[in-house]
Amino acid sequence: MTIPVSSAAVIPTEESSRSAVSWGAIFAGAVAASALTLVLMLLGSGLGLTMISPWSNEGASLATFAVSTAVWLVIVQWLSSAFGGYVTGRLRTKWVGVHTDEVFFRDTAHGVMAWAVATLIIAGALGSAVSSTISAGVQATATLTAGATAATVAAASDGTPDAGDTGTGYFVDSLLRPADPRTPPTTASTGDATAEVSRILVNSTAKGEMSEADKTYLGQLVAARTGLSDTDAKARVDSVLKSINDAKVAAKEAADTARKTSATVAMIGALSLLIGAFVAGVGAALGGRQRDDEAIYLVS
C-alpha cells in the first residue's frame, strides 16, 4: 500500500549561488556619505569661524560654540548616513524570489554596512584630529595641574636666577616691589633675593603649601628689600600667596572643564554614530523599496 507524500516535503530547497551582499552599492553609498560629510564639515567650519571674534563681548561664548559644534556634528552624521544609506538602497540589484521581510532586512543591513565603511573612511582621514580631541581633557589636566610645578622645580634645581623662566616672576616682583617707587634699586643683592624668593615659591608650589618658617622668613626678606613694616610685609606675602592659590584653582577649573567637555563630546559622538547607523539602515530600506517600486512600474 502506497502512502501519499506531499510534494512540498520532497522538493529540496534551492539556495541561490549569488551573494546577498551588493558590495558595489555599499561602497557607492559609503563614498557618497563620506563626500557629503566632507562638504558639511567645511560648511560647519565656515559657520563656526563666523561665530568667533577677536573683539571682546562680540563673539559667541565658549559654551555656545561647544554646544553648536556638537549639534552640528550630530546633524552631519545623520544627514550623511541617511544619504549614503538611500544611495545604497537605490543602487543595489533587485532580488528575485525573496520574501518581503527578507528584502527589508537585506536593505537595512546594506545601509548599516555602507555606514560602517563610510565611518572607517572618515576615521582614517581624520583619525589624528579625533584622537587629539578625545585626549585633550586628559592632557590638559596633566599639563595645567602638574606641568607648571615640574617646570619650576626643574628651573629651581638648576639654580637659575631668572624668575621669569619659572613662571613666578610676576609674583616675585609683587613681593619685592619697593614701598616708594622712586627708591632706586639697592645693589646686586636684589637679584639674589629674587632668586631666593623664586625658590621658596617653587618649593611651596611643589609641596602644596608654604611652611610657617618660610612664610616668616619671606616676610622679613620682603620688609628688608622694600622698606615696608613687618605687618605690611606679612600682609603683602599673604596677598601674593592668595593670588598664587587663585591662579592654581583657576588652572584646575579650566582643566576640569576641558576634561568634562572632552568626555561629553566623546559620548555624544558615540551616540550619534549609533543613531547614524540606524538612520543609514532606514534610508537604505526606503531607497530599496522605492527602487523595487520603480522597477515594477517600469515593467508594467
**What is the reported pLDDT for 137?**
47
pTM as predicted: 0.57
Please check whether residue 162 is in contact with residue 283, taking contact to mean a CB–CB distance below 8 angstroms.
Answer: no
Question: Is the Cα dihedral 89, 92, 95, 98 positive or negative?
Answer: negative
What is the rounded average pLDDT of the residues 140-167? 45
pLDDT score of 165 more than 70: no
Residue 13, Ramachandran bin (φ over 0: left; ψ between -120 and 50: alpha; else beta)? beta
Sorted by where each begins, the domain ranges of the chain are 22-140+262-299, 141-181+188-252
3-state class of 55 per DSSP? coil
**What is the reported pLDDT for 112?**
93
What is the rounded average pLDDT of the residues 180-202? 64
pLDDT score of 16 more than 60: no
What is the rounded average pLDDT of the residues 58-62? 63
Q: What is the 3-state secondary structure (H, E, C) of 95-111?
A: CCCCCHHHHHHHHHHHH
The least confident of 106-110, 151-155, 179-183 is 151-155
**What is the reported pLDDT for 13?**
52
**What is the reported pLDDT for 83?**
94
pLDDT for 213-248, tens place per residue? 888 888 888 888 778 888 888 888 888 888 888 888
**What is the reported pLDDT for 128?**
55
Nine-digit cell string for 29:
553609498
pLDDT score of 117 more than 90: yes
pLDDT confidence band for 159 (50 / 70 / 90): very low
pLDDT score of 97 more than 70: yes
pLDDT for 251-273, tens place per residue? 888 888 888 877 887 888 788 88
CA atoms in the 13 A half-sphere facing the CB of 296: 8
For the chain, what is the mean pLDDT? 74
